[in-house]
Amino acid sequence: MPLIELADVSARHPAARAGALAIDGVDLEVRAGEVVAVIGPSGAGKTTLLQTIACALRPVQGSVQLFGSLPWKMARARQHRLRGRLFLAPQVPPLPPRQRVVTAVLAGRLARQGFWTSLRSLFYPVRSDEARSALARFDMDDKLFDRVDRLSGGERQRVGLARALVSGAELLLVDEPLSALDPTRARQAIASIVGAARAGGATLVTTLHQVEVARENFERIVALRDGHVMFDAPVRQVSDAMLRELYADHEDELTSTLEGAAPYAYTLPGEFDVERPMTCR
Ligand SMILES: Nc1ncnc2c1ncn2[C@@H]1O[C@H](COP(=O)(O)OP(=O)(O)OP(=O)(O)O)[C@@H](O)[C@H]1O
Ligand SMILES: [Mg+2]
């Protein structure tokens, strides 16, 4: 049974005009433990897709199944519990000013921990070791007690990623995790996220602008354009021609942002079902 199952799903941003669909007729199945990159030009619907999977956005058409259940047919309390099993990391993490990094990171656990633990951790971060080790994966452990409003954009982004790691969620949905990072940090960050997901057996769906990062680190690529799935394939089947077609008229977005990256050299992680048939529409 897939962990995520979208069937003919269409959704639009709440502020969009009627009729303007951000994703349109999307079918997608992701099994537990898969590590998937979603790519496509700006405006393709990547963020909207993640929000739809996270039940943060109700589709206008189609069905969303998560963990084998239909979240939009559930009572609120059950839906809330279901959301607690996933973590949506937005491109710009919402970090209250004046908050300490340690508190901001541990906020990732809020959906899973009890009320009293959450309240206590506002005054004294009870699991600071956990926050420190998550931050260390992003070379940020020296900032544990700094205030978040004194961090750079890239540092804040890494705090957001550390928060995703401590969440312990079964499903991690990460939006553009590398947008504010320099090439070296970006490499480290993506390796940490993918490594943590694999080590913990979590399912990971990440949107990315950098196609070469997707090819190097992920086993499956879902390509969106104009709200449609253009292809959904194991990484070894993704050709340069497919990428050129995906980014046609957006060639400026198909540039390597990782210095020294061998653009189309990638390794395929072991033991994944590489025989999955490619769908291309
Ligand atoms: N705030 C908004 N108000 C109205 N419409 C929006 C808004 N945000 C997104 N949309 C619509 O949804 C479409 C898909 O946007 P989305 O943010 O999902 O794309 P994306 O692939 O994540 O783009 P990017 O790579 O720039 O982050 C946009 O083309 C736009 O039409
Ligand atoms: Mg986006």
pLDDT (tens digit, 9 = 90+) per residue, 109-166? 865 555 555 556 555 656 788 999 999 999 999 999 999 999 999 999 999 999 999 9
Three-state DSSP state, 190 = helix
User: What is the whole-number distance in angstroms between the Cα of residue 227 and the centre of ligand 1?
Assistant: 10
Instruction: Please tell me the predicted confidence (pLDDT) of residue 96.
Output: 87
User: What is the whole-number distance in angstroms between the Cα of residue 91 and the centre of ligand 2?
Assistant: 8
In angstroms, the CA 151 to CA 103 distance is 14
For residue 221, the cross-strand partners are 37, 233
Would you give the distance in Å from CA 52 to the centre of its chain? 12
- 39: tokens are 């790519």
Average pLDDT of the residues of the chain: 86
Regarding the beta carbon of 223 and ligand 1, being less than 6 Å apart is answered no
pLDDT in tens, 180-204: 999 889 999 999 999 999 999 999 9
In angstroms, the CA 26 to CA 38 distance is 13
Q: Is 217 exposed, middle or buried (0-12, 13-18, 19+ CB in 10 A)?
A: buried
Report the residue among 47, 50, 254 best suited for mutation to probe ligand 1: largest number of ligand atoms under 8 A from its CB: 47
**Residue 264 pLDDT greater than 90, yes or no:** no
Percentage of the chain with pLDDT > 90?
A: 69
User: What is the whole-number distance in angstroms between the Cα of residue 145 and the centre of ligand 1?
Assistant: 35
Residue with tokens 């943590």: 196
Residue 97 near residue 149, CB atoms below 8 Å: yes
What CATH number was assigned to the domain covering residues 1-85+170-261?
3.40.50.300
CATH 3.40.50.300, the chain: domain bounds: 1-85+170-261
Q: Among positive and negative, which fits the CA dihedral 207, 147, 142, 170?
A: negative
- pTM strictly above 0.85: yes
- State the CB neighbour count (10 A cutoff) for residue 118: 16
Arithmetic mean of pLDDT, 224-235: 97
The ligand 1 atom at the shortest distance from the C-alpha of residue 23 is 14
